Amino acid sequence: MPDYLRAARDAGCEPAILEWLAAAQELVVHIPALQAADWAERRVGAHQLSDALAERFTLPGPSECTVIERRVPTRSGELTVMHYRPAVRGSRLAHVAFHGGGFILGSVREMVNDRLWRARAVAGGVDVFDVDYRLAPEHPFPSALDDGLDVLDWLLEHGAEFDIAPDRIGVGGTSAGGNLAALVAMHARDRGVSLDHQILEVPAGSLHAEHDESFRNYRDLADMGGDFSALRAAYLGGHSDTSGPAAPDEITDLAGLPATLLITAELDPLRDSGEIYAARLREADVPVQSWRAPGQLHGSGSLTKNSETARDWQNRVAEFLRSRVALSSAIAS
């Protein structure tokens, strides 16, 4: 039995998580591309693994959500943005989303993202815009951040075409995507743009999380354990201080950031970095809702077919979005 699976069992993880980890281990053996030196080939393998797991462990998204592939002009060329549009009448709330993948993997075309965003759009009553940002190491920091800011600028300019007002746009992301969402929110504030909300799920709150107690305790429960420094180097590339903060813990002024939902997982190496950021936001008088998902790992929030806690996780996000829809609608009227 693999060490991380044994560690999960020793930590008392629920059967759904143990089944997920075991399935992943079985699949990895049959996907040699995961070990490829070429990043493009490795991403093909990661996509194959992700889709196989999502098929088995993530509930399909509702069919009543319309999905439109949009091509958005940015400073680096056109980017793909998947627009998830529920059947909502009148003015809409937008949620700009950033997938996870350690800054080096992930795609808007992965089944897990499609299923979760469909469900979130319908349950939350929001238009989700999932950004296919550029990945490291070919495109190191701040490339992905620039992509996020450019998509936000595009939506601010063109939102009226989708019945979205400029003050009814929020951001969110998971893991590396949570890092990007937090930085986009900071830059938007600094440019005088008032975002409606930010949803940060198991965010990479620090690029030096190996110093945190949660990282030391739970590094054996996630793939990032032995490779975090290499992952950081791949993402930062030639990053210098002049590029600005590369993680939420580097943001010095948190005042004026949008209402926040921040979810951490109990057995996640990145847990402490996320919870420290939530505490700092509160100290800066930012409205914050936070929740530590009990018994959960870094990526187990997607296990909605098998885990009641994962379904609770997704329901909490949808409830937060519904509350933002209700509030913005009340203000508009």
User: CB atoms < 10 A from the CB of 312, how many?
Assistant: 15
Active-site residue, 212 included: no
Overall residue count recorded for the chain in this entry: 333
DSSP for 57-109 reads HSPPPPTTSEEEEEEEEETTEEEEEEEEE-S--SSEEEEEEE--STTTS--TT
Q: Which residue is it, tokens 């690029």?
A: 207
Among 132, 146, 298, 328, the active-site one is: 298
Q: Residue 280 is which amino acid?
A: R
Structure letter (DSSP) for residue 220: G
Among 175, 300, 302, 328, the active-site one is: 175
Q: Are 125 and 322 in contact (CB under 8 A)?
A: yes
Q: Which residues, 6+ apart, have CB-to-CB distance to 44 below 8 Å?
A: 33
Active-site residue, 298 included: yes
285 three-state secondary structure? coil
Among 127, 268, 273, 300, the active-site one is: 268
Q: Which residues, 6+ apart, have CB-to-CB distance to 274 below 8 Å?
A: 178, 200, 202, 203, 205, 262, 263, 264, 268
Tokens of 40: 């493009």
Active-site residue, 175 included: yes
Q: Which residues, 6+ apart, have CB-to-CB distance to 247 below 8 Å?
A: 179, 183, 204, 205, 206, 207
Catalytic residues: 175, 268, 298
